[in-house]
Structure 1
Amino acid sequence: MNPALEYIDNAPEPYRSIMLHLQVVIEAHFPELQLKYKWSLPFYYIGDKTMFCFLNYRKTFVDLGMTHAIELSNKHQALVAGEGRKMLRSLRFKTVDDIDDEILIETLEELMLLRKSKMKK
C-alpha cells in the first residue's frame, strides 16, 4: 500500500475521518494533484516536484499545511501560522464538522493559482 494512504488509514479517530474527508475533497476538485509520501507525511504535489499541501495529525487537530500560503489573501481568516512557520500556513480541524468545504476549496484554488504562477517563473 502507498505509505501516504497508510498514514491516513492508520491514524486514530477522529483524525482518520478528517483526513479522509480532506482527501476526497482535494482529489475531487484537483485531480491533477499527486499524493506522495515525504518527510513521513502525505503530501500533494503539482507534477513531480512542486509541493502543494500536506496532511498531518497532531495531538488535538489535523493540520492541512500549505506551502507558500503566507502569500494568500486569507479572506476567511481561517489560515493559521503557528510554530515559527515563515512560508507555511494551515487550516486546522478538530472534527469533520469543522471542515467548511467552501472555504477549503476557495483557499486551495487560490493556492493553486499562486503555485502555478510561481512554476512559470
Structure 2
Amino acid sequence: MKPAEAYILNQPEPFKSILIHLQILIESTFPEVDLKFKWKIPFYYLNNKPFCYLNASKKKGYVDVVFWVSAHLTKYNEFLISDNRKVVKSLRYSNLEDINEEILLTVLAEAFEKKKPVFIKKVII
C-alpha cells in the first residue's frame, strides 16, 4: 500500500470517508494523475508537477482539496477559500454531504486544463 493511501485509511471518521470519496472522484475522473505522499499528506501530480493535495485538519474539523494553480482558476471562485494563503486556494469539506460534485469536478477540470503541458510546434523557415 502506498503511504498516501495508508494516510487516508488511517484517518478517523468523518475524515476517512471524505478522503476516500475525494480520492475516488479525482482518480476516476482524471486517471492521468499520480497519487504521491509529500510533506506527510496525499498529493496528486500531473506530468510530474503538483496538481492538488488533500489535507485533513482534525483540529479545525475539515478536509481541504487544495489547488496549486489557484491564481488561474475562474469558476466557482465564491467557493474557493484562500484563508490568508497567498498561492493556494481550496475547497473545504466537514462532512460527506458538503461535497458538491459538480463544483469539485468543475474546479478540478479547470485546474487540470491549466496543468496540461502545452506543446509548441517549432516552425522552421
Task: Return the alpha-carbon distance in structure 1 between the equivalents of residues 76 and 95 of structure 2.
Answer: 22
1:76 Cα deviation from its structure 2 partner: 5.4
* Structure 1 unaligned blocks of 5 or more: none
Structure 1 residue ranges (4+ consecutive) displaced by more than 3 angstroms after TM superposition: none
TM-score, normalization by structure 1: 0.91
- The structure with the largest alpha-carbon Rg is 2
**Conservation of the 8 A alpha-carbon contact between 1:76 and 1:103:** no
Task: Return the alpha-carbon distance in structure 2 between the equivalents of residues 70 and 64 of structure 1.
Answer: 15
1:71 Cα deviation from its structure 2 partner: 1.8
TM-score, normalization by structure 2: 0.88
1:101 Cα deviation from its structure 2 partner: 0.6
Determine the structure 2 residue equivalent to 1:75: 76
Task: Return the alpha-carbon distance in structure 1 between the equivalents of residues 69 and 8 of structure 2.
Answer: 24
RMSD over aligned CA atoms reads: 1.3
Task: Return the alpha-carbon distance in structure 2 between the equivalents of residues 16 and 54 of structure 1.
Answer: 15
1:86 Cα deviation from its structure 2 partner: 1.2
1:27 Cα deviation from its structure 2 partner: 0.6
Task: Return the alpha-carbon distance in structure 1 between the equivalents of residues 46 and 113 of structure 2.
Answer: 11
Size of the aligned set, in residue pairs, is 117
* Structure 2 unaligned blocks of 5 or more: 120-125
**Conservation of the 8 A alpha-carbon contact between 1:70 and 1:86:** no
| SS class of match (1:80) | coil
